[in-house]
Structure 1
Amino acid sequence: MADCKSLIPTNEGDDHVIAAAKHIVRALETSKNLTDDVKKILADLDSRLSTMTVLSANKRGEINEIEERLNFVQEKIASWDSDQSIWDSSPEEASEYRQAVGEVQRLTENLGVLSLNEGEEATKLLNRAHSILQMGMAKLEEEFSHILIQNRQPFEPEHMSFRSSEEDIVDAESTISVEDDSVNDSLRRDSTSKGAEEFIIDLVHPDVIPDLKCIASLMFTSNYDRECRQAYISVRKDALDECLFILEMEKLSIEDVLRMEWSSLNGMIKKWIRAMKIFVRVYLASEKRLCDEILGEFGSVNSVCFAEVSKGSMLQLLNFGDAIAVGPRQPEKLFRILDMYEVLAELIPDIEIFFSDEVGSSVRIESHEVLRRLGDSVKGTFLEFENAVESNTSTNPFAGGGIHPLTKYVMNYIKVLTDYSDTLDLLLGDHDEYPASPLSNTSSIVEEEQENRCSSTSNSPLAQHLQSITSVLETNLDGKSRLYRDEALQHFFLMNNICYMVQKVKGSELGALLGDDWIRQHNRKFQQHAMSYERATWSSILSFLKEEGIFNPGSNSVSKTVLKERFRNFNLAFEEVYRNQTGWLIPDPQLREDLRISVSVKVIQAYRTFMGRHASQLDGGKYSDRYIKYSSDDLQNFLLDLFEGSPKSLHYPRRR
């Protein structure tokens, strides 16, 4: 009888076993040959079997109740048409649906516990609950995506306060080999390269954020976090692609970029500069906030999703920057590349914050690599610019002796470079000494500049480079001046061009970089060329007005023949100068006026003195008009016609 305890069922959920055990126990209790101890054991067994019967009935009731609730929520969840949005219907229905899915989730958890002890029936019910939950989650995933898409806020970058103004930007499209006036003042810094303000916008309507958070919470607690993340990433990736489309950033390969003409590429770079600032400072900052609001309660999920959403677009933008960096190093590209470098350098701290996790490391690394390559491109393009200045050759003299297009281009070019002083000092600072060019090795101008370099007010890397460039320019101009056969025009040309260089340096940042000594030295240079011009042009003419050689040999009387010849030669020489030099041009009004005054003082004074002494000696003054064609006032007025760049001729005196 001690083995009677083995009759107790080991599985409390098996009703048939319990009933059979009770039947056996009661049959044994009717036996007449039982001891008191056996009777006590059988009574205890009977009591325990009765309790198990009650417990089994309770479990049956619980399972039945769960099954009834499952039937109800299944009907509720299945009643929604897959093409119909729950959240578009009404807040009440959306709330009911969330409650239904939440109940399935709880029932699934309860059944998970029951199935461990209650056998096959509870397990089947658990599997059914999982199916219903999966159906509910699939609908929630659809709703999650639908809400994100339907409530996306319009992105309007043109309304942002730091948008670029096309009318404020003048492009540096002229190349250094083009010799025309279009280069004058054609270089200006891109207004979008600095000063953008940072602010955050609503990418999704704020009213639906609580709904999105609620759906995400349901999906995460139901272990459907992967589906939720994928839905978020898919929708927001499309939104970022649309953002780049609105910012007019095409998806181009490096090969596509390298094949583009400069005019098109220049426009693309301006768009890139603007797009980078807006995309990082506004769009990514806003995307980060949106991601934190919806997924911020689930650990590092928000950072991972943000990186997955945005790294493709960021790498697309960086890829364009890389294509520019590895492209041909042409001087006209330097300012745009500098703008790109400065913008990216300014944004890298933001990029490092946004992509601080391991999943964003590729963006962090690539941004630093692109910045480095852009910096290398700046240095290489800068050196290429000096080479282009040095190698710019001409076979014909520049008409009129005015300011050569090369001078305008170079001086405007380096004047704009001062806007990037800090960046260029940083990038050029690793060059201990600026490499000397072949042309500068034999140039007295460059040697003189190098001797005075130590007295410059600025010894920054950029200042040293600019001094070298101006020296190379002067050497080139000196060579171009030798294309003129007329010595006076050689000096006239150099006077004009060096004066222009000084005017560009004075009163600008170039003055601070090149120094007062540079300005004083070059002031002397163009003034010396002005004096050399006067000697070359007017010395021979004024020689006709000298007293030497006009007297008859052996007497103090004036030779009328020599005197007539002097006046005739003076008239012819003056008319020749007038015909030539009215076509010469001095663009600077002050220089033009100063040179006219200087010439006038010398010529008019000499002419008036000579004429006053000797006019009456020409046949007693009776026929003096035959030889004295012009009065001193006439000459004074004629001198005012010089250097206007419009050739004129004198055939008859202009009496006033």
Structure 2
Amino acid sequence: MGDCKSVAPGLEGEENLIAAAQHIVKALGSNKNLTDDVRKILVDLGTQLSTITIADENKSEGVNEIEDRLVAAQDKVMSWEADQCMVWDSGPEEAAEYLKAVEEVRKLTEVLESLCLNKDSEGDELLRRAYDVLQTAMARLEEEFRYLLFQNRQPFEPEHMSFRSNDEDVVDEGSIISFEDDPVEDSLQTDSISRSSEDYIIHLVHPEVIPDLKSIANLMLSSNYDQECSQAYISVRKDALDECLSILEMEKLSIEDVLKMEWAGLNSKIRRWVRAMKIFVRVYLASEKWLSDQVFGEVGSVSSACFVEASRASIFQLLNFGEAIVIGPHKPEKLMRILDMYEVLADLLPDIDGIYQEDIGSSVRTECREVLGGLGDCVRATFLEFENAIASNTSTNPFAGGGIHPLTRYVMNYIKILTDYSNTINLLFEDHDRADPGSLSSNTSPVTEEENKSGSSSCSTPTGLHFRALISVLECNLEDKSKLYRDVALQHLFLMNNIHYMTEKVKNSELRDVFGDEWIRKHNWKFQQHAMNYERASWSSILLLLKEEGIQNSNSNSPSKTVLKDRLRSFNVAFEELYKSQTAWLIPDSQLRDELQISTSLKVVQAYRTFVGRHNPHISDKHIKYSPDDLQNFLLDLFEGSPKSLPNTHRR
């Protein structure tokens, strides 16, 4: 307000003072002895006194006009205080008139505040009345604002975004099997969630009421009721965000709650979190930011503050879940899920930075980066824990039949799925390996020049090096497990089966690019060596019985019938024992089984056929228990995993 001059004591008012001053000036001005300068000063003073008189008269007229305008606006505002209905339920015309009345009151308060008024004057009383009406109107507008926001919320339906899936709550059995359980081929599965999606802006509030919300917000803010308006907005939208998380089935869980959960339930929660994060940030938060900008767009700082305050609790609820996963135990079955969490949060980081770009949103940006960094550390720790779990997986009993051990299946399926995350694993291990070279297993061999030339350069990436380290640890473990078999032939069969399985998994999948062709050639040679060693351990002693050495009589060139009979009897007994034991042995891969059966048949049946054919004149038919064709058919029964016995009868 402008400067106000105090009234001189003893005078009855401004009007009397001004009239007296004018009278004095007039009297002095009639004095003929005054100089021209003094006379000019008196003329100017008279003019100013006349102006004050006119202004005072206009002022009185202005106050009267303000009072008339205030009364009209007050009647409109107060008429709704006795009505239980909402103004905006009465139609757009009534709402527009109400806003116009409130705007009138706001302008009148500004006019009254600008006037130079004396205490207890009529204008000052009008200002107090205007304040009271404005406060009443603001309370009503806050209520209407809250009502419009709540009543016009649009239902959030994520189904059209492929959020729900039929198998969402199915326990991922492959993720919780132990290494000693019966394996399930390709049991470890990743989610089919897309790793890229378009941003969506949906109407969280019916578009028709946005102009009304904006009008109310602008009026409340211009009336210095920004705090009341902001709190009303934050309260309603915070509840809407909580409801969104409920629809996305993200319940509020403390860190302690998450740490206490069994893996089956936690697995489902993580999968749901991965889906919910992308929808919540890219769809819901983006739309929420857009809504606040529409309502408070003309006052950007208020818009940002309202959005951040409304959404902070809900985004922190999601990030707290990630924090709980980070500080939980680093169990190997969690690795794929943690990688899913890392990738989706890393993918969403630019979106989060864009949505919370102002200083007021810095706490959200910081928390996101901290959780992301924690998830990265958790991936590395869990990967190394997986390697330790392979190394420490011990058995007291040999695996029945010498087939493919569950540990081998689990590890190979595990790393096969991990190839989907190769880029992320490279990123997470690259700097870490450079800083800590000892993080790689001592069992892994360096990448040779041949491997770099023959295979993809992927074999020298952090992913390739760490996968090779895992396989080296697995091979050492399998070597130890093979020693549990008493039969040397079965030791080699076991190693042949498992190394062949590993090699085929690498050769026929994306792992080929990771390991390289040289690794495949080396391991092809390994399992073939074990196949040859199996043949030697199984059949060498039997084939010795079909050798010519020691058959001839010492006093003639003819074979000894007694020796021939003993040789055949020993051969039959040895073959029957081997048949009984090796039909219980297992080669799961049909092609590998056929190849080993053919290789064995070529050696054994051919040697038997030659032996029997050469000495047939000296051997009675009753001593030839099996024909070469019988043996060939019997060999086809081997490695089926079902123990059989040969009939204990002689050929007629």
Q: Same fold (TM over 0.5)?
A: yes
Using structure 2 for the length normalisation, give the TM-score: 0.89
Q: Give the aligned residue type for 2:254.
A: S
Q: Name 1:642's counterpart in structure 2.
A: 638
Question: In structure 2, what is the equivalent of residue 5 of structure 1?
Answer: none
Q: Is 2:135 the partner of 1:151?
A: no
Match of 1:520 in 2: 521
Kept after mapping to 1: 8 A contact 2:625/2:650: no
Question: In structure 2, what residue type is equivalent to 1:435?
Answer: G
Alpha-carbon distance change, 273 to 451 in structure 1, aligned in 2, over 3 angstroms = closer
Counterpart CA distance in 2 for 1:125 and 1:480 is 97
1:18 aligned residue: 15
Once structures 1 and 2 are overlaid, which stretch shifts more, 83-92 or 171-180? 171-180
| Corresponding residue SS for 1:553 | coil
Change in CA separation of 1:88 and 1:627 when aligned onto 2, cut-off 3 Å: farther
In 2, Cα distance between equivalents of 1:544 and 1:126: 124
- Residues 118 and 176 of structure 1: CA distance in aligned 2, closer, same or farther (over 3 Å): closer
The gaps in structure 1 that reach 5 residues or longer are 1-7
Give 1:266's aligned amino acid.
Answer: N
Letter in 1 for 2:68: E
Cα deviation for residue 163 of structure 1 reads 5.7
Counterpart in 1 of 2:60?
60
- CA–CA distance in structure 2, aligned partners of residues 340 and 399 of structure 1: 39
Alpha-carbon distance, 1:309 to partner: 1.7
Residue 299 (structure 1) shift: 3.4
Question: Residue 25 and residue 354 in structure 1: after superposition, are their counterparts in 2 closer, same or farther (change >3 A)?
Answer: closer
Q: Distance in 2 between matches of 1:356 and 1:152?
A: 26
Deviation at 1:544, TM superposition (A): 2.3
Higher alpha-carbon deviation: 635-644 or 68-77: 68-77
Query: C-alpha distance in 1, partners of 2:480/2:348?
Result: 46
User: Using a 3 Å threshold, how does the CA distance of structure 1 residues 518 and 97 change in structure 2: closer, same or farther?
Assistant: same
Q: Which residue of 2 aligns with 1:4?
A: none
- Name 2:564's counterpart in structure 1: 563
Q: Which moved more, 1:42-51 or 1:293-302?
A: 42-51
Determine the C-alpha separation between the residues in 2 that align with 1:153 and 1:44. 70
Q: Name the structure 1 match of 2:438.
A: 435
Aligned-residue identity in percent:
61
Letter paired with 2:226: D
Output the CA distance in 2 between the equivalents of 1:198 and 1:58.
Answer: 61
TM-score (norm 1): 0.88
> How far, CA to CA, are the matches of 1:92 and 1:654 in structure 2?
111
Residue type matched to 1:431 in 2?
D
Compared CA separation, residues 509 and 127, structure 1 to 2 (3 A): same
Rounded Cα–Cα distance in structure 2 between residues aligned with 1:358 and 1:436: 39
Q: Which amino acid aligns with 2:376?
A: G
Aligned length: 630
- Alpha carbons 2:605, 2:628 under 8 Å: kept: yes
Q: CA RMSD in A?
A: 3.2
Query: In the TM superposition, what is the alpha-carbon distance from 1:151 to its structure 2 partner?
Result: 0.9
Instruction: Tell me by how many angstroms 1:90 deviates.
Output: 0.8
Could you tell me which of 624, 629, 633 is aligned with 2:625?
Answer: 629
CA contact (8 A) 2:234 2:306 kept: yes
Q: Deviations over 1:287-333 (max 9, x none)?
A: 11111111111132212222222222222211111111111111111
Cα separation, 1, equivalents of 2:402 and 2:213: 74
What whole-Å deviation, never above 9, does each CA across 1:478-519 have from its counterpart, x for those lacking one?
Answer: 110010001110000000000000011103222112111111
- Give the match for residue 533 of structure 2: 532
**Equivalent residue number for residue 327 of structure 2:** 326
User: Relative to structure 1, is the Cα distance of residues 327 and 129 closer, same or farther in structure 2, using a 3 angstrom cutoff?
Assistant: same
Partner amino acid, structure 2, of 1:473: L
Secondary structure of the corresponding residue to residue 483 of structure 1: coil
Give the Cα separation in 1 of the matches to 2:208 and 2:107.
Answer: 28
Displacement after TM superposition at 1:632 (Å) = 2.1
Whether the aligned pair in 2 keeps the contact of 1:193 and 1:273 (CA below 8 Å) is: no
Contact 1:164 1:191 in 2 (8 A): no
CA contact (8 A) 1:434 1:465 kept: no
1:40-94 CA distances to partner (integer Å, 9 max, x unpaired)? 9999999998987765554334323322332222222122256422112211111
Tell me how far apart the structure 2 counterparts of residues 494 and 26 of structure 1 sit (CA, whole Å): 127
Q: In 1, Cα distance between the equivalents of 2:31 and 2:502?
A: 131
Matches within 5 A, 1:351-390: 351-390=352-391
Change in CA separation of 1:376 and 1:654 when aligned onto 2, cut-off 3 Å: farther
1:20-47 CA distance string (max 9 Å, x none) = 9759989999x9xx97899x99999999
- d(CA) in 2 for partners of 1:387, 1:252: 31
Instruction: Determine if the alignment matches structure 1 residue 80 to structure 2 residue 80.
Output: yes
Q: Distance in 1 between matches of 2:73 and 2:588?
A: 90
Deviation per CA, 1:184-235, whole angstroms, max 9, x where unpaired? Answer: 3121223226223322111111111111111111112212122211211111
Does the residue aligned with 2:637 lie in a helix, a strand or coil? coil
Q: From the superposition, tell whether residues 451 and 374 of structure 1 become closer, same or farther in structure 2 (CA, over 3 Å).
A: closer
Aligned partner of 1:3 in structure 2 is none
Q: 1:611: how far off?
A: 2.0
Task: Give the structure 2 partner of residue 185 of structure 1.
Answer: 186
Match of 1:478 in 2: 479
Partner amino acid, structure 2, of 1:461:
P
Amino acid aligned to 1:18: E
Q: Give the gaps of 5 or more residues in structure 2.
A: none
Query: Following the alignment from structure 2 to structure 1, what is the Cα–Cα distance between the partners of residues 42 and 55?
Result: 20
Q: 2 CA distance for matches of 1:233 and 1:316?
A: 17
Tell me the residue number matched to 1:69.
69
